[in-house]
Structure 1
Amino acid sequence: MDHKDLDVWKKGMDLVEAIYAFTKGFPDEERYGLTSQMRRASISIPSNIAEGSARKGDKELIQFINIAIGSVSELETQYLIAVRLTFANKNENLEHLLSEVKKLLLGYRNYLKRK
């Protein structure tokens, strides 16, 4: 299956867009700090799904899915830091999307392990 057909990849792409919009208003001095980190972590999620899907087998794909799970966990923490530092207000839609992507990744990994 092409990675672009996977719901988890599509939601990951939605998350990238949401993070770019969320970080747009961060202070200029955070351009190379939290803004950059959050954007890179979000990009890592669909990128690792795509790279893992292009590999030979499920074992390699699972490894890349695990990396994507790590990236979404990192991104959740960075989101909470941004809110604590008052760079942005809480965003329930973004929180829901983070949770949804994490659940989809975990579900996809479990599916691959049972195959």
Structure 2
Amino acid sequence: MSFKFEKLTIWQKSMELGETIFQITINFPADEKFNLTSQIRRAVDSIALNISEGAILQSQPEFKKFIGYSIRSCAEVVTCLYKAKFRKYISEKEFNELYSICFNLTNMMIGFRNQL
């Protein structure tokens, strides 16, 4: 038994990204707790949350709208990653790896939305 969204690769990948971001932000400075740390965690969690919400009892146009929210949340994560890199909270290597994951996930979500 499972929910429809659990079978979606975009949901699975967004869940993985969320856990990766959570682990990385543990090392952010304490004074960022209510700023960048909170913002990036909420944005990354919003990706999976919107996919799952859109997949349940929504019309096709509504589901597309929720996928759009997920795409925008992923862009927000990328901007937070830039902030973290500029502030030296993450390395260039970490940034590049996470940027690539976000880029690929965004393209997957766009492709998925276009097929709905």
TM bracket (short chain) = over 0.9
Amino acid at match of 2:86: R
Deviates more, 1:51-60 or 1:67-76: 51-60
State the match for 1:24 in structure 2. Answer: 26
Point out 4+ residue stretches in structure 1 off by more than 3 angstroms. none
RMSD of equivalent CA atoms: 1.1
Residue 110 (structure 1) aligned to one of 93, 110, 114: 114
Amino acid at match of 2:71: I
State the match for 1:56 in structure 2. Answer: 58
Amino acid at match of 1:46: A
Q: Which runs of 5+ in 1 are unaligned?
A: none
What percentage of residue pairs aligned between the two structures are identical?
33
How many residues are aligned here?
112
Greater relative contact order (Cα < 8 A, sep 6+): 1
Distance 1:96 1:107 in 2: 16
For 2:57, what is the secondary structure of its paired residue?
A: coil
Alignment of 1:25-104 (within 5 A): 25-90=27-92, 91=94, 92-104=96-108
| Cα drift, residue 23 of structure 1 | 0.9
Distance 1:44 1:56 in 2: 17
Distance 1:17 1:68 in 2: 16
Deviates more, 1:95-104 or 1:68-77: 95-104
Amino acid at match of 2:79: T
Distance 1:16 1:81 in 2: 17
Q: Which runs of 5+ in 2 are unaligned?
A: none
Distance 1:48 1:55 in 2: 13
Cα distance per residue 1:10-58 (max 9 Å; x no partner): 0000110110112111000001100000000000001000000013311
Q: Does residue 5 of structure 1 match 2:34?
A: no
Residue 15 (structure 1) aligned to one of 3, 14, 17: 17
